[in-house]
Amino acid sequence: MTGIPVYNTNNACATGSAGLHLARTLVKNGAADCVLVVGFEQMNPGSIKSVWSDRPSPMGLSTTLMEETRGKYDTPRNAQYFANAGREYMEKYVESNLKKIMRKC
C-alpha cells in the first residue's frame, strides 16, 4: 500500500522495550533512516488472559514448551514466563559459575 513497513509487537510487559529495540536495530543496520515507535496499553483487571477464542494464541508454542520443560501450574502465565526465565538464567550462568568458584576453593 504505502511501502512503509509496520510491525506489531505484543510482549506483555516488554512490548515497549521490544519496539525500541526493533527500531534501533533497523536504524543501526541501515534498513531505515528514520523510525517511529508508538505504543499503548489497555489492560483489564486481574491476570492477563486471552480475549480471542477464534484463533490460536501467539504464545501457544511457548506455553507448551514451558509446560513440558517446567511443569504446568494453575497460576498466571506471565508470572510463569518471567519466573522460568529467571530460573533458566540461574541454571545457565549462576549455578555453573558457583561450581567453578567452588572448585577453586
pLDDT digits over 76-85, tens only?
888 898 899 8
Of the ranges 39-43, 57-61, 62-66, 72-76, which one carries the lowest mean pLDDT score?
A: 39-43
Q: Alpha-carbon distance 78 to 76, whole Å?
A: 6
Closest CA to 87 of 64, 104, 103, 71: 71
pLDDT at position 48: 66
What mean pLDDT do residues 34-57 have? 79
State the Rg of the chain over Cα: 19
Residue 97 has pLDDT above 80, yes or no: no
**In this model, does residue 1 exceed pLDDT 80?**
no
Higher per-residue confidence, 17 vs 46: 17
